[in-house]
Structure 1
Amino acid sequence: MTEHHVINPLSTGVDYPTLAARFRPIFQRIAEGAVAREHSRTLPHEPIQWLKEAGFGAVRVPVEYGGGGASLPQLFELLIELAEADSNVPQALRGHFAFAEDRLNAPPGAGRDVWFKRFVDGDIVGCAWTEIGSVAIGDVVTQVSPDGDHWKLNGEKFYSTGSIFADWIDVYAQRSDTGGDVIAATRARQPGVEHSDDWDGFGQRTTGSGTSRFTDAVVDADNVIDFATRFKYQTAFYQLVLLATLAGIGRAALRDVAHQVRSRKRIYSHGNAAHVSQDAQIQQVVGEVAALVYAAEASALKATLPAQRAYVARFGGDDAVEREANVAAEIESATAQVVVSSLIQRATSELFNALGASDVRQGKALDRHWRNARTVSSHNPLIYKARIVGDWVVNGAEPPFVWQIGNGPGVVG
């Protein structure tokens, strides 16, 4: 065991302006092609490759291992900036950062070192957890089976966000021998793995959230991970990525409405100024949109703080402190979800009150902001999160840390 295993350095944060400066030129390049990709429904293979080459996938890896050393609040602040450029990209990387977070929470050792090196070398991990069709809630059809020194993976997943861009896929599966739930981390580019870009949602159209099929795909024995060891604040983490994405959508919408108002030459005879940018009512609309976006971003960033506490507490040796942080991470991310979803959907609709009929033309693609916000907001039903928060506030009932979706009892197909 080497010395850095004993010390076990944690990613508690670096100088944010310096960290962000590494990636902002790439974010700008990504933003420049966002509307064109939206119109042609072109998957962002090239933008994700730029991020891989720049080490973006390793921003949470401790600096002692060659990573960025970013804290969780810093990661999500970066994701907000990336989402402002193109909201599809941070969501496509959601599974990667969740798997990386799980490895950050793993016990120090050679196995964890291998993954840290992969992240630093640029490897990206996709996600394949959800099964659709005739799958009862709680069931897992996808299985891994022992096969000599390796395992074989068989099954089909939908909503496999980011997997089409990935080097590895984080697959939720069941062991055929024991029935235990596991994560099977399998190579994305190998025989027996098929990706389909069949996601047809009206928003977030280029996240690669389609079908992944596995037919006797090989999984190394070291990469079959007991799901019970998964990091405890995972549900909060997944939601925080979506909150960052929503905040970034809001920033992009505010950027675009301000640009359209500044550049607009046509006015209404019953308006208030000789130029739209000087019209007090138009300024009020833009100011209200700015306030909605400000509140959403502030809420999203505040919700990241207990997740960072949970990460640090994981290695602190105090179970009570760790549990409190995990509960807070879940409750605060859920609380923020309820308000941020509403704020950004409102902002991305209200912006049109500052514009005109020409601004709803498809060429400007301003509608993508609302469509993307509505789609992101539909992932984890916020009505249930509101109830969970209320139950905690009133009764002190701890939130569920893992939840599933599937057919209810007696439902077929």
Structure 2
Amino acid sequence: MSIYISSRKNKDSGVSEYSEGAEDEQLDNLFRPIFSDIAKGALTREKASELPWEQIKILKEAKFGALRVPKSKGGFGASLPQLFRLLSELAEADSNITQALRGHFALVEDRLNSPPSAWRDDWLERFAAGDIAGNAWTEVGDVKIGHQKTKVTEKEGEWRLTGEKYYTTGSIFADWIDVTAQLNEDSDSLVTVAVRVRQDGVSIENNWDGFGQKTTGSGRTVFTNARVNESDILPFANRFKYQTAFYQLVLLSTLSGIGRAALLDLIEEVQNRTRIYSHGNADAARDDAQIQQVVGAVAARIYAAERITIDAAEASQQAYMHHLCDAEDIVKAINITAEIESAKAQIIVSELILKATSDLFNALGASATSLSKGLDRHWRNARTVSSHNPLVYKEKVIGAWELNQTEPVFQWQIGQGK
């Protein structure tokens, strides 16, 4: 048995080829001022449904997308707990941007878990240079479970992609799109394909009509004979093992950030509130014991959500650190732990943030429902994020594991039923 963890170093530089962690102070000094600037225009963008083009450009230039890229490849070498902490802080500034980058960080993680090769290094260097990726997995309509209408086929020595995808979050901002497709017209082989955005045959629409997370750049993407490099066509079954946990952790970071933003708004509203009720408990809202109780409860729920998310991320970091381990029983156990941890976190964090973003109105008057304040956006955004990966199925997965040691589903799909 061999376990390749932190001892693996680049022979020339002595720098670890694993992303084990960076200096928190370095990351905070670089990115927190950017997050602060992003936050200043978030409410305005929300009201106008204005996409955060400039904000994502600034993050690209700062190499935010290279957080997980090893230092030996030009990135920061951040650990997963560090990544999700920073994504939560970004979500506090603008939760739409964190979710828009979900597909990007998942593709980075997949490449990190790929066997060492020149191809892998090329991808990591692209990310280090600022390239970001979007996501295009979901199809709607009469697509059966396990099938895709989107096809990648070879034509005259070139590989081409044709099909339509929906909920292609973040792709409108991206340099690459991570796409699922069937290999060849008559094949049932499911593959993932990395496609350059800036080429003929790729058309992206911003037509997401949900009531929350309105500026994530979600919508329809159409591929019409778009060129694909053969080396970037990979079996879907080869995706990194803890990907379901990873995708969920991005959403949990988004939820935690939504909670943080809601708490800041709540505190400001209470501190500045001059109107009181005759049957209240003090001459100022901020001194009213019952109002303080509401604020305290909201703050406690958000604190718990943050800590649960980071703790769950530790399990996925262990899965990453053991991805080259050749002991199958160890790898299996670690990845089950990562999946179960993220599932438990999803249930509780969703409940905590949904309650917090609703209960904040208990500390305020009817004026807090004014559209000009935009306080409703916190609940709407949290409800939208929480609707991904239905909670009822996660509860079932956890129960089946606890009762019968039934392994969780690591790769799942959605499609037309009977």
For the Cα contact (< 8 Å) 2:21–2:78, is it kept in 1? yes
1:130 maps to 138
CA 1:220/1:8 → structure 2, altered by over 3 Å: closer, same or farther?
farther
For the Cα contact (< 8 Å) 1:155–1:214, is it kept in 2? yes
Which of the numbers 109, 134, 140 marks the counterpart of 2:117? 109
- SS of 1:169 mapped into structure 2: strand
Written as runs of structure 1 = structure 2, the 5 A alignment for 1:249-398 is 249-398=258-407
Shift of 1:400: 0.6
Shift of 1:5: 11
Instruction: Supply the AA of the counterpart residue of 2:27.
Output: L
Shift of 1:316: 2.9
CA 1:31/1:7 → structure 2, altered by over 3 Å: closer, same or farther?
closer
1:160 maps to 168
- SS of 1:119 mapped into structure 2: helix
Instruction: Supply the AA of the counterpart residue of 1:310.
Output: A
- SS of 2:372 mapped into structure 1: helix
Count residues with an aligned counterpart.
408
TM-score after normalising by structure 1: 0.96
Partner Cα separation in structure 2 for residue 6 and residue 81 of structure 1: 32
Q: What do the CA deviations read for 1:303-345 (whole angstroms, capped 9, x no partner)?
A: 1111100001112332222111110111010011111111100
Q: What do the CA deviations read for 1:56-90 (whole angstroms, capped 9, x no partner)?
A: 00000001111010001100000010000011001
- SS of 2:214 mapped into structure 1: coil
Which of the numbers 185, 201, 207 marks the counterpart of 1:192? 201
Instruction: Supply the AA of the counterpart residue of 2:76.
Output: G
Q: What do the CA deviations read for 1:24-69 (whole angstroms, capped 9, x no partner)?
A: 1110111001000010000111111110000000000001111010
Which of the numbers 57, 62, 67 marks the counterpart of 1:54? 62
For the Cα contact (< 8 Å) 2:16–2:71, is it kept in 1? no
Shift of 1:147: 2.5
Structure 2 residue 35 is the aligned partner of structure 1 residue 31: no
- State the identity %: 58
Shift of 1:122: 0.5
Structure 2 residue 87 is the aligned partner of structure 1 residue 79: yes
Q: Which runs of 4+ in 1 moved over 4 A?
A: 2-8
Instruction: Supply the AA of the counterpart residue of 1:172.
Output: T
- SS of 1:235 mapped into structure 2: helix
Shift of 1:128: 0.1
- SS of 2:269 mapped into structure 1: helix
Which of the numbers 105, 112, 117 marks the counterpart of 1:97? 105
Partner Cα separation in structure 2 for residue 147 and residue 320 of structure 1: 42
Shift of 1:3: 4.5
Structure 2 residue 144 is the aligned partner of structure 1 residue 121: no
CA 1:149/1:114 → structure 2, altered by over 3 Å: closer, same or farther?
farther
- SS of 1:362 mapped into structure 2: coil
Partner Cα separation in structure 1 for residue 325 and residue 92 of structure 2: 35
Q: What do the CA deviations read for 1:7-39 (whole angstroms, capped 9, x no partner)?
A: 971000012122122101110111001000010
Which of the numbers 401, 404, 408 marks the counterpart of 2:413? 404
Instruction: Supply the AA of the counterpart residue of 2:129.
Output: D
Structure 2 residue 228 is the aligned partner of structure 1 residue 219: yes
Which of the numbers 20, 33, 36 marks the counterpart of 2:28? 20
1:151 maps to 159
Which of the numbers 223, 241, 245 marks the counterpart of 2:250? 241
CA root-mean-square deviation: 1.4
Partner Cα separation in structure 2 for residue 157 and residue 82 of structure 1: 27
- SS of 1:145 mapped into structure 2: strand
Instruction: Supply the AA of the counterpart residue of 1:337.
Output: Q
TM-score after normalising by structure 2: 0.95
Shift of 1:149: 4.1
Structure 2 residues not aligned, in runs of 5+: 1-9
Instruction: Supply the AA of the counterpart residue of 1:138.
Output: G
Q: What do the CA deviations read for 1:75-127 (whole angstroms, capped 9, x no partner)?
A: 00000100000110010000000000000000111001111111011100000
For the Cα contact (< 8 Å) 2:267–2:295, is it kept in 1? yes
Shift of 1:136: 1.4
Q: What do the CA deviations read for 1:250-283 (whole angstroms, capped 9, x no partner)?
A: 1111111001111111111221111111111100
Instruction: Supply the AA of the counterpart residue of 2:258.
Output: I
Structure 1 residues not aligned, in runs of 5+: none
